Amino acid sequence: MNSPSTRDAARCIQDCLTCFRTCLAAAMNFCLEAGGRHIAPVHIRLMTGCADVCRTTAAYLLSSTPFYEELCRACAAVCEACAADCDSVGKMDDCAEACRRCAESCRQMVAEEVGQTAEPMPA
Amino acid sequence: MNSPSTRDAARCIQDCLTCFRTCLAAAMNFCLEAGGRHIAPVHIRLMTGCADVCRTTAAYLLSSTPFYEELCRACAAVCEACAADCDSVGKMDDCAEACRRCAESCRQMVAEEVGQTAEPMPA
Amino acid sequence: MNSPSTRDAARCIQDCLTCFRTCLAAAMNFCLEAGGRHIAPVHIRLMTGCADVCRTTAAYLLSSTPFYEELCRACAAVCEACAADCDSVGKMDDCAEACRRCAESCRQMVAEEVGQTAEPMPA
Amino acid sequence: MNSPSTRDAARCIQDCLTCFRTCLAAAMNFCLEAGGRHIAPVHIRLMTGCADVCRTTAAYLLSSTPFYEELCRACAAVCEACAADCDSVGKMDDCAEACRRCAESCRQMVAEEVGQTAEPMPA
């Protein structure tokens, strides 16, 4: 089928917007002020990039824009990597959790599209 | 290799930003005022969604953010579809051309990553 | 004082993000499909512009970015105008309400800054 | 008058997009890697906030969205402050120049609106 269930899309929008605000606020407040590993260039880039793709994916879903699956796929990949980097950097559990939840919702949107239900897509 | 050539990235950033401004201006000025097929919901959604993913892809490349290939892949798919829709709606040649050029640059960024040169990626 | 109270900033972020999603979803789904006065160019532009400035204002507040008051001031003006246009177009009560609530929160952030409490700022 | 001259709007759009890409690329590449004063939280916030408001202002102008003057006013304030901070941090001449040029174009858009010509608006 080509459109996601309304309920799953609503959950994915919510998870994307929560991840957007969690990553952006953590990067620009906690990480910049903590210094050390928290300001490794790749960590800051992953955090702000994660916020950006989450925002865009939410906008696609909110707008019923075609190819939202492509955005969900990209969003899931970035969120998963951001969560892993947060674990590695440490003291970023809230952010890692928001990223993992968003990745899971995005994968669910992609899986649905091909008639499956909750199988994680291959990375 | 993991990073794109500087020259190809610069071209892709330029093509993404040109497509962003061309799609956004055309949708919000020409299309809204022309009416008819130009304001079919799917056409407006593709045009504004294309502007949005182009902007985000440009931001990833400008920021050296990891997973830029995922954004390039999504961007190429949306741009290609937007170009086809512009052809179908008519009188949107500039927009279709900006979309096709951007799709090609994005595909080039993805192809490079796996060590190929200019093969179009599979859809 | 130069920083807003944490509680007021949190409310403003929430109201901005709610207005972002309400305006974007209404413009791109209900309005585009309803046609008539709902697709008057100025109405669509106000709705999508309102979503955009709300998103940016939320990002400033989430990031503790200086000059957030300037964004709040611009956001309040756009939200107020969008609410009035929604009233005039009709059948857009949810959107008008989200815009008015966001305008009020943004004005509160500006008023605080100059040591006042809840006076609406001059237009 | 209520609409800017086409020529001035085109220049402002160009200057906003140049400032967007210059600030974003400098913050996320040069500054994050240089460390020291370049990663002071307020500097990174000004740089990324400047990129964000420039992007939004460009979108308003590209879309003929009402209240573009409010965005231009906010954009000019942020750009001016970002330029001053770049001067203070040092080795950021390209960024400071892009910010000053954008601030000037934005002020021009606001000045026009009230029938003046090139007077800088009061801060």
Q: How far apart are the first and last CA of chain D?
A: 22
Task: Let me know: does C72 contact C85? Beta carbons within 8 Å.
Answer: no
pLDDT at A115 (0 to 100): 54
Query: Other CB atoms closer than 10 Å to residue D41's CB: what's the count?
Result: 17
pLDDT, tens only, B51-89: 999 999 999 999 999 999 999 999 999 999 999 999 999
Count of Cβ atoms closer than 10 Å to residue A69 Cβ = 21
pLDDT reported for residue D66: 97
Residue C49, number of CB atoms within 10 A of its CB: 27
Residue A11 contacts C where some CB pair is shorter than 8 Å = no
Stretch B25-30: mean pLDDT: 98
Collapsing DSSP to helix, strand or coil, D110 comes out as helix
pLDDT, one tens digit per residue, over D104-118 is 999 999 987 665 444
Secondary structure class of B15 (helix, strand, coil): helix
Q: What is the pLDDT of residue B112?
A: 76
Q: B117 φ, ψ to 5°?
A: -115, -60
Which residues fall within 8 angstroms of residue B15, CB to CB, at 6 or more apart? B98, B101, B102, B104, B105, B106
Judged by CB atoms closer than 8 Å, whether chains meet at C24 and A64 is answered as no
Q: Which of B43-57, B77-91, B102-116 has the lowest mean pLDDT?
A: B102-116
Domain-embedded: residue B46 = yes
Residue C78 lies in a domain: yes
Instruction: Among D32, D35, D45, select the one facing A28 at the smallest CB separation.
Output: D45
Give the whole-angstrom CA distance, residue C61 versus residue C10: 8
Mutation target vs C (from A6, A31, A54, A63; most C CBs, 10 A cutoff):
A63
If you ran DSSP here, which 8-state letter would residue D28 be given? Answer: I
Q: Are B57 and B16 in contact (CB under 8 A)?
A: yes
Distance between CA atoms of residues D11 and A53, nearest Å: 29
Amino acid at B42: V
- State the pLDDT at residue B115: 54
Closest chain B residue by Cα to residue C49: B28
3-state secondary structure chain A: CCCCCHHHHHHHHHHHHHHHHHHHHHHHHHHHHHCHHHHCHHHHHHHHHHHHHHHHHHHHHHCCCCCHHHHHHHHHHHHHHHHHHHHHHCCCHHHHHHHHHHHHHHHHHHHHHCCCCCCCCCC
* Ranges of chain C whose pLDDT falls below 50: 1-2, 116-123
Residue D1 lies in a domain: no
Partners of residue B28 in chain C, C-beta under 8 Å: 41, 44-45, 48
Cβ of D17 within 8 Å of Cβ of B21? The answer is yes
Count the alpha carbons within 13 Å of C82 in the hemisphere toward its beta carbon. Answer: 36
Q: Contacts of residue D33 in chain A, CB cutoff 8 Å? A: 41
Q: At what angle do helices C41-63 and C6-25 cross, to 10 degrees?
A: 150
Residue type at position A116? Q
Residue ranges making up the domain that contains A22: 6-113
Q: Under a CB-based contact definition with an 8 Å cutoff, are residues B119 and B60 in contact?
A: no
Is C121 within the bounds of a domain? no
Buried b / exposed e over B79-108, threshold 16 CB at 10 Å, is: bbbbbebbeebeebeebbebbbbbbbbbbb
CB B72 within 8 A of CB B12: yes
Q: Report the mean per-residue pLDDT for chain D.
A: 91
Contacts of B9 in chain D (CB under 8 A): none
Tokens 């052809």 locate to B87
CATH number, domain of B42, equals 1.20.1270.360
Q: DSSP letter for D37, please.
A: G
> D62 vs B13: CB contact, 8 Å cut-off?
no
- Is residue B84 classed as helix, strand or coil in its secondary structure? helix
| Dist. CA A39–CA A24, nearest whole Å | 14
**Total number of domains constituting chain B:** 1
Q: What is the pLDDT of residue B123?
A: 40
Residue B1 lies in a domain: no
Distance between CA D101 and CA D11 in Å, rounded?
10
- Averaged pLDDT score across all residues of chain A: 91
Query: Which of C9-43 are b and which e, b meaning 16 or more Cβ less than 10 Å from the residue's Cβ?
Result: bebbbbbbbbbbbbbbbbbbeebbeeeeebbebeb
Contacts of C66 in chain D (CB under 8 A): 42, 45-46, 49, 78, 81
Model ipTM?
0.90
- Does B120 fall in a domain? no
List, as one string, the DSSP characters of C63-121. Answer: HT-TTHHHHHHHHHHHHHHHHHHHHHH-S-HHHHHHHHHHHHHHHHHHHHHTT-SSPPP
Residues 6 or more apart whose CB falls under 8 angstroms from that of A122 comprise none
Measured distance CA(C92)–CA(C82) in Å, rounded:
10
Interface of D with C in 75-114 (CB under 8 A): 77-78, 81
What pTM, to 2 d.p., does this model score?
A: 0.92
- Whether the CB of B44 is below 8 Å from some CB of chain A: the reply is no
Among A97-101, B57-61, C113-117, D33-37, the range scoring the smallest mean pLDDT is C113-117
Mean pLDDT of D64-74: 98
- Angstrom distance (rounded) from CA D72 to CA D106: 5
pLDDT score at D90:
98
Mean residue pLDDT of chain B comes to 91
Question: Can you state the angle between helices B68-89 and B6-25, rounded to 10 degrees?
Answer: 40
Q: Decide if A52 contacts A16 (C-beta within 8 A).
A: no
CA dist A108 and C35 (Å) reads 33
Report chain D residues whose CB lies below 8 A from the CB of C56: 52-53, 56
Average pLDDT over residues A75-90: 98
Report the largest interatomic distance among the alpha carbons of chain B, rounded to a whole angstrom.
Answer: 47
Q: Is residue D54 part of a domain?
A: yes
Has residue A108 been placed in a domain? yes
- How close A21 gets to chain B, by Cα (Å)? 17
**Cα A49 to Cα A79: distance, rounded to the nearest angstrom:** 9
